[in-house]
Structure 1
């Protein structure tokens, strides 16, 4: 077992067909690889057994969450270097079969088995969502998925998100703070929706109440916010009471499919539609359309993936599904816009703000790292590691244009065709009178 790092570096090169773009530090203290690269720290041979049992993203994630893998150096640079191995899969099935049949590949696999130590592999970390059964995106299953992600603890989210308690992409300008960038995002949405005093706003997936509070306090809107998270709802209600806004805002623990008290003048859906699922997206669009009055506006703020050459080959990110957003699905922005139009909406504006999410995520990671000991105490060491990896990896994904985020403004245009939008809507300050 002497000089495990050199052996791992050589085996990785044979398995991948090219050198690993990282330096390796192994459990025996040895190091090998490019001297100027971030260091992949393999703390225990168990990490190799996880990778052999679940090659690729899920095996890496399990080893990371368990603390058997770490990075010494710039985490973003490390993820950027590993992106081609983990996410940007260029080889097709024929290439994979050819590699497996290559004698050098098979010899390297045997060497890795010897280095990994005795089987079987360890069980998945406790933070992993266990195998689920039954149809996707039923009300029960959605509630369980939301609870896994959002009922981690409000104190933990305060550490990560900061005072704004907004868990979606901020809207940045030069030299602004996270708090101001989130306030600017909420205000942008209110202006796009043309909110005014007395308007009824439905905030779907209301989180900790930040959008509801901003719309009521700054615009005089009467807001109903719905969430499936009991912890979010309790936190939002307290914030609302503390600000004296209980006469304008109602927070419900309710599925959006159970909201039946329309019509509303406007609907905001900010970072919620990612949970809906491809099979249910038309239902989501139909439900929101039915809840709007004629002339009412929907602002749909949603993460989007890039289209696949073969859409049938699309698969949900294994790490995200197992540890972060169970049952979450991303769709290309064109598919989202098409579903909204099929439901009857007129799509009037699409604003892509991809770069803003990279900036937001980096700030959340900085908040987490600055409060690392407290974050582990409030959740668990494994859960804190999940969040650090998830947010840093997503920052890289936005920066590399693997995923994007868009605000779609859609209108339930009445039969006479009057949308109510100004001729130059991008100013978002003009009145419609």
Structure 2
């Protein structure tokens, strides 16, 4: 017999949200409630509600999504926008009424009766398993495990999502053009900012599948070293280097930046890697890169940034991202990044915000994944494919709504003479 679950869920959600339900719900018993329009939030099993009750907020919803107990029929981006009140903190100016604590307790009891008071389901197997103590953050061993969790999903899976460029960072878009064009433009932008020329020695920190070192060696004649903690990435990159006939110019290592000691380099690129470093280690990261550069050498640091908080002690790592996507990853405001680079001895010469570019990039990746969904599931697991779809779509919206940004910072190890080597004008950078 139907539980009329959807109307009951809708009533609970409306009280918590302080307003009308923004999305239609279909529950496990076939009942529906909410506005007569797409998209539809499908609650396939009462376990989804049980997960949310045991872990209210983003992580509970994410577990239900990864397990396939929660789904969306229709446009995922629109659904996530509608669900923003459950996924992100309300705007301080939002005047909608909030239920009092006693009423919240009553709502929880109603929800529990609908979910049935059973123990919480175990997390999906794709979730990071950690010891209860958590352990010390950003040790060499723990960082290697975190990188392996994210990047050793399978090169074929990433090829499906990223396309032929195999670049897993923000592209640089012009009007029109393909994803591959935009990624090539981003790599060339980095090379121009670094002022690369024939014979220069380049270190690419977090080299991924080798796209940056290949572009720099092929187009600018540099000698390049790419380092990554992912064995799968390194194997793929080495094959690409050999196929391109650039083995005499490019070396790919499985190596932590803290273990790299063969400077000096003329230039260092770090594209989408610094988010893994962590606030506790960022000063060390900046000092190591400064030490590896020759006087006058340039660093291009390409990094996602969050918005600053009134009280930085309130910063909390995103639960879904930490559990399923980037374990131990941390975002910092752009001002903090610039400050840390300058404290390490760098002179910051240029910053460029690419927020809208990353939103466009992520939407292309999501489109690639959705277009070949059945193949993606066979290349990894259904849960892992669902993780990547949710993470990339939600991230696209975060960039579009200015919740996060991404910036390229050009810094120089300026020598004591004060001659940075940077031209007075740099129109070619854009």
TM range (shorter): over 0.9
The answer for the alignment partner of 1:215 in structure 2 is 216
Tell me by how many angstroms 1:232 deviates: 0.2
In the alignment, the residues of structure 1 paired with residue 349 and residue 245 of structure 2 have an alpha-carbon distance, to the nearest angstrom, of: 35
The answer for the alignment partner of 1:420 in structure 2 is 421
Tell me by how many angstroms 1:350 deviates: 0.2
In the alignment, the residues of structure 1 paired with residue 410 and residue 333 of structure 2 have an alpha-carbon distance, to the nearest angstrom, of: 16
1:14-54 deviation per Cα after TM superposition (whole angstroms, max 9, x unaligned): 23322231110011111110112421100000000000000
1:201-254 deviation per Cα after TM superposition (whole angstroms, max 9, x unaligned): 000000000000000000000000000000000000000000000000000000
The answer for the alignment partner of 1:51 in structure 2 is 52
Alignment of 1:31-70 (within 5 A): 31-70=32-71
The answer for the alignment partner of 1:110 in structure 2 is 109
In the alignment, the residues of structure 1 paired with residue 92 and residue 108 of structure 2 have an alpha-carbon distance, to the nearest angstrom, of: 19
In the alignment, the residues of structure 1 paired with residue 69 and residue 300 of structure 2 have an alpha-carbon distance, to the nearest angstrom, of: 43
TM-score in terms of structure 1 length: 0.96
Kindly indicate whether the alpha-carbon contact (under 8 Å) linking 1:222 and 1:249 is maintained by their aligned counterparts in 2.
Answer: yes
TM-score in terms of structure 2 length: 0.96
In the alignment, the residues of structure 2 paired with residue 426 and residue 254 of structure 1 have an alpha-carbon distance, to the nearest angstrom, of: 35
**What 5-or-longer segments of structure 2 have no aligned partner?**
none
Provide the secondary structure at the position in 1 that maps to 2:422.
Answer: coil
In the alignment, the residues of structure 1 paired with residue 3 and residue 89 of structure 2 have an alpha-carbon distance, to the nearest angstrom, of: 33
Tell me by how many angstroms 1:106 deviates: 2.9
Alignment of 1:20-169 (within 5 A): 20-90=21-91, 99-103=99-103, 105-132=104-131, 133-169=134-170
The answer for the alignment partner of 1:398 in structure 2 is 399
**What 5-or-longer segments of structure 1 have no aligned partner?**
none
Provide the secondary structure at the position in 1 that maps to 2:25.
Answer: strand
Q: Which runs of 4+ in 1 moved over 6 A?
A: none
In the alignment, the residues of structure 2 paired with residue 78 and residue 102 of structure 1 have an alpha-carbon distance, to the nearest angstrom, of: 30
Alignment of 1:281-296 (within 5 A): 281-296=282-297
Aligned length: 425
Provide the secondary structure at the position in 2 that maps to 1:279.
Answer: coil
In the alignment, the residues of structure 2 paired with residue 417 and residue 68 of structure 1 have an alpha-carbon distance, to the nearest angstrom, of: 61
In the alignment, the residues of structure 2 paired with residue 33 and residue 160 of structure 1 have an alpha-carbon distance, to the nearest angstrom, of: 34
In the alignment, the residues of structure 1 paired with residue 342 and residue 115 of structure 2 have an alpha-carbon distance, to the nearest angstrom, of: 53
My pick for the range that moved more, 26-35 or 346-355, is 26-35
In the alignment, the residues of structure 2 paired with residue 168 and residue 200 of structure 1 have an alpha-carbon distance, to the nearest angstrom, of: 23
Tell me by how many angstroms 1:111 deviates: 1.1
Kindly indicate whether the alpha-carbon contact (under 8 Å) linking 2:17 and 2:85 is maintained by their aligned counterparts in 1.
Answer: no
Tell me by how many angstroms 1:100 deviates: 4.9
Kindly indicate whether the alpha-carbon contact (under 8 Å) linking 1:15 and 1:109 is maintained by their aligned counterparts in 2.
Answer: no
Kindly indicate whether the alpha-carbon contact (under 8 Å) linking 2:54 and 2:60 is maintained by their aligned counterparts in 1.
Answer: yes
Kindly indicate whether the alpha-carbon contact (under 8 Å) linking 1:205 and 1:226 is maintained by their aligned counterparts in 2.
Answer: yes
